[in-house]
Each structure stands twice: as structure tokens, then as C-alpha cells.
Amino acid sequence: MNVFSTLLARDLKLAIRQSADSLTVVAFFAIATVLFPFGVGPETNVLERISGGVLWVTALLAALLSLDRIFTVDYEDGTLDQLVLTGQPLSIVVLAKITAHWLTTGVPLLIVSPLLAVTLHLPTAGYAPLLLALLLGTPTVSLVGAVGAALVLGTRRGGVLLSLLVLPLYIPVLIFGAMAVEAATTGRSATPELLVLAGFAVLAVTLCPWATAAAVRQAVE
């Protein structure tokens, strides 16, 4: 736990110093969401129907922008090599970095999403399921994305390859996240979809740190 807390505090301090990265993610999320009414038209009924899916798609794409930053900076300056050589459990090291990524990317998206939902005329009943779905889904996005980020460490055009690796894996999270919002707005219970998202999160936190650690070790060696 000392290793985890120390690395988490370090990465959060670095993220605060380089706050432009988090602001870029939030700005992309906002701009991409606001553009949809211009593309599909201002009809309220249309926007209400697509609002949940639009918010989830733009949130996933925004989170994707920052995935390569999880390990790249430490890999390039040699910090990652030193962390591997310390002999500390590498799964704890990568879990701390993934947690920092979620706190600086997933949480800002979570905070901004209700404001952007207003521009898409999301019905009132959909706000709580939207926030709960994002709260359960964005950690999975960070965990799965970290595996991809570790796999492309040291490769040329890693950002493009990373997108190809992780976007297909995000589809189940996208489907059930959007379905949770749609269920609430149509008068049904969103509990089944939220439970599935919770299951994805548990599965990801169980498997992804070890898979990421193995990929990081391979990249360093």
C-alpha cells in the first residue's frame, strides 16, 4: 500500500503540473458532444433518443486521447525501468498509474457529463443512470486501455495501433452504458445494465493489472 500511495501521489502531482492533458480530454469531450446537434439537427425528440449513446461515444474517444500518456513519459525518461528494477510488485505499480489516469481523466469526464447532457436534451430520468454508468464504466476504460498502452510501448505510431487494439474491447462497455441511459429514459429499470457494467469493472480490475504488468516488463526488457 505504501508503494501504491507513493506512486499515486507522484502521478497526481505530475498530472496537476501538466494539467493541459486533462483539459484537452475534457475539451474534446465537450466539443465533440456539442457538435452533434449541428450534425443531426435541433429536433428535441431526436436528441433525446441519441443523447445517451452520443455521450458514451464521445467520452470513450476522449479517454482514448490520454491512454498513451499512462506509461510513455516514464518509459522515455527511464523511470519505468527503475520501477521495474526496484523489485516491487509491478502489478501494484501499474495499478497506481491506472488509478491516477482515471482520477485525472475519468472523473473530469464524469463531472462534465451532466452539463453536456443538457445540450442534448437528455430527459431528467436519465441523469442518475448516466452518472452511475460512467462511474462504473470509466474505470474499465482505463484498465483495458492500460493493457493496450503497455503493449504498444516503444513502437512507432503507437497511438494509432493503440486505438485499433482497445476500441473493439470498449464496445461491450459502450453498449451497456448507453442501454442503461436508454432504459431509464423509457421508463424501465437500468439496474441490469448497471450490474453488467459493475461485473465488467470487477473483471477488469482482477485481470488487467497483471496483464499490463506483463506487457510493461516485456517492453522494458
Distance, CA of 37 to CA of 214 (rounded, Å): 43
Q: Who's near 111: CB < 8 A, 6+ residues apart?
A: none
With H, G, I as helix, E, B as strand and everything else as coil, classify residue 121.
coil
Residue 47 has pLDDT above 80, yes or no: yes
C-alpha grid cell for residue 169? 474491447
Q: How far apart are CA 5 and CA 212, in angstroms?
A: 19
Q: Residues 91, 7, 78, CA angle at the centre, nearest 5°?
A: 80
Residue 41, pLDDT above cutoff 80? no
pTM of this prediction? Answer: 0.89
| Domain membership of residue 169 as a residue range | 2-220
pLDDT, tens digit, 9 for 90 and up, residues 156-201: 766 778 888 888 999 999 999 999 999 998 888 889 999 999 999 9
What's the total number of domains in the chain? 1
Q: Is the pLDDT of residue 78 over 80?
A: no
